[in-house]
């Protein structure tokens, strides 16, 4: 089945935004993904097999709450990562982050 991979996890998939994986449940699919792309599962699933708070997994546009969610052969899986960072710059200027040059004095 199709799995849509967010940009922050594409370093595991060789840059691919869409990959194939198999499984009768989300748990099985994540194991298959980890077999194909070692380390990717840990980025999404914690040590207690819970979906990490900054990750949302959708099956056919419906959010999966646990990895025990059953899957069908034609399901589409979309993984979403919440991102954060940076801070607001002075009024009227672009936002600033640790990775940009300082504003002039």
The residue count for the chain: 105
Domain that holds residue 59: 2-81
> pLDDT at position 27, please?
98
> pLDDT at position 47, please?
96
Q: What is the pTM for the complete model shown?
A: 0.77
Q: Does 17 reside within a domain?
A: yes
Per-residue three-class SS string for the chain? CEEECCHHHCCCCCCCCEEECCCCEHHHHHHHHHHHCCCHHHHHECCCCCECCCEEEEECCEEECCCCCECCCCCEEEEEECCCCCECCCCCCCCECCCCCCCCC
> pLDDT at position 18, please?
97
> pLDDT at position 83, please?
76
The count of structural domains within the chain is 1
> pLDDT at position 85, please?
60
Residues 87/81, Cβ–Cβ less than 8 Å: no
Averaged pLDDT, groups of 10, the chain, 105 residues long: 96 97 98 98 96 96 96 96 66 53 48
> What's the CATH number where 62 sits?
3.10.20.30
Residues 69/25, Cβ–Cβ less than 8 Å: yes
Beta-ladder partners of 70? 25
């Amino acid at each position: 089945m199709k799995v849509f991979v967010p940009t922050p996890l594409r370093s595991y998939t060789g840059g691919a935004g869409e990959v194939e994986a198999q499984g009768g449940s989300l748990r099985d699919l994540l194991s298959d993904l980890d077999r194909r792309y070692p380390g990717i599962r840990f980025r999404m699933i914690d040590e207690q097999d819970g979906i990490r708070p900054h990750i949302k997994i959708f099956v056919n546009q419906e959010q999966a709450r646990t990895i025990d969610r059953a899957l069908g052969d034609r399901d589409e899986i979309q993984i979403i990562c919440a991102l954060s960072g940076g801070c607001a710059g002075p009024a009227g200027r672009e936002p600033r982050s640790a990775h940009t040059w300082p504003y002039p004095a």
